[in-house]
Chain A
Amino acid sequence: MLQTADGKLPLDVSFTIEKGQFLAIYGNSGTGKTTLLRILAGLTQAEKTHIEVANEVWDNSQNKIHLSVQNRSIGFVFQDYALFPNLTVKENLEFALQKNDNTQIVSELIELMELQSLQNSKPQNLSGGQKQRVALARAIVRKPKILLLDEPLSALDDEMRFKLQDYILKIHQKYQLTTVMITHSIPEIFKLSDKVIILDKGKILKEGTPSEVFSEEKISSKFKLTGEIISITKSDIIYIIQVFSGNNIIKVVATENEIKDFKIGQKVLVASKAFNPIIQVLS
């Protein structure tokens, strides 16, 4: 059961992830995304569950099987960094090791995540992006089968976000992880994931590849982008709508009639036919 603003709501989902797949979970707040991840991690016990990972049962409510967090081969990264403040970067990684683990992985990850110059720093001296890089490295020190990411990049600015996406992709591929990531960013889903699930009120609303799920043809136009209205200015008898999209501000002309439905901050789709844009090589 999910506790939501609308009262209790059952979380009722069933899905399969292939080994090595990158699954994105998308949906509004309070639809059960984090709960789902916590159940996978064994942090939350659901009433009725069956979770099987590579023929190993992690959860089965009927047979009273519930593997503890420690016994699940998972790595977890949350939105907040949750590093040990009194340990250096390197020590934070080493702390995640268990008795018989090969310590080689720590230096390998420090190199892979480009943390060499930071390895002796304490978390308080790191930027948000650096902390999250450490948290990612720490999550895979034990070479988990599954990496669970709960909006790990949402507190970062765009530039840092793009960089961290590259790191996530790099470790996902290098360590052949099966990754489940909660995110609110559609471009991020397209960049990282093979499969996406849209959760709505505790149920799976849609499931498929990012293009199957998000590129449903609402309009035949092929020159499309989504953004947010940042200003509406009257010019002569028309209106100029400024839309912020990705890192760009674009302008679109609209009529007086159209702007009745527009307001600042509104998410919009901007579309043009593929025949119109001019394309030029940047020198």
Chain B
Amino acid sequence: MNTLNGNITSIQSYEGISLVKVKSNDTIFTSIVLDTPETASYLETGHSVKIIFKETEVIISKDFSPNISIQNRLQCTIESIKKGVLLSQISLNFGETVIESIITTNACEQLQLEKKDAVMALIKTNEVSLSPND
């Protein structure tokens, strides 16, 4: 899994669900959770949290401002590519950290991804979990 540290910058809650914004590496992440500040004490502005998402949920785009619904958009450069028969693992430099993406080898070839390419990593809001740092 990909894990990044960040701090909560805002929380919008409605009927048991919260949309939580977390800042990490100067980028704002959005996560949606089935909790509210009433049910989970870590949901408060400023609280340090881990942002967690699975490698297989990281979409790669060569277009830097795609007109699509995905909220989490990370500017990255490709550090390395490990090509498999069906799947490929792309290591991405994001600020000071590395995040991993697993996409199909077909997709990797279609996008002609190369080392050092600048790409956008995209993660849907509902794929991002949070874990409080205590």
Contacts and interface: CB of A to CB of B under 8 A. Distances in A.
Contact of A255 (B35, B52, B55, B86): B55
Given A220-B129, A238-B84, A256-B89, 14 more contacts: A219-B130, A220-B40, A220-B131, A237-B82, A237-B87, A237-B88, A237-B102, A238-B89, A257-B100, A258-B1, A273-B127, A274-B34, A276-B126, A276-B127
B118 interface: no
A168 B88 CA distance: 52
Interface string B73-93: 000000000111111110000
8 contacts: A217-B35, A217-B40, A219-B52, A220-B33, A237-B88, A238-B87, A255-B100, A273-B127
A236 B87 contact: yes
Interface in A213-233: 217-222
Interface in B57-115: 82-89, 100, 102
B121 interface: no
Contacts of A218: 131
B129 A237 contact: no
A229 to B, nearest CB: 16
A269 to B, nearest CB: 11
Number of chain B interface residues as a range: 20 to 34
A251 B21 CA distance: 31
B127 A238 contact: no
Contacts, number: 53
Nearest to A238: B87
Interface string A254-265: 011110000000
Nearest to B102: A238
Given A237-B84, A255-B55, A255-B89, A217 B126 contact: no
Interface in A239-275: 253, 255-258, 271, 273-275
A217 B130 CA distance: 10
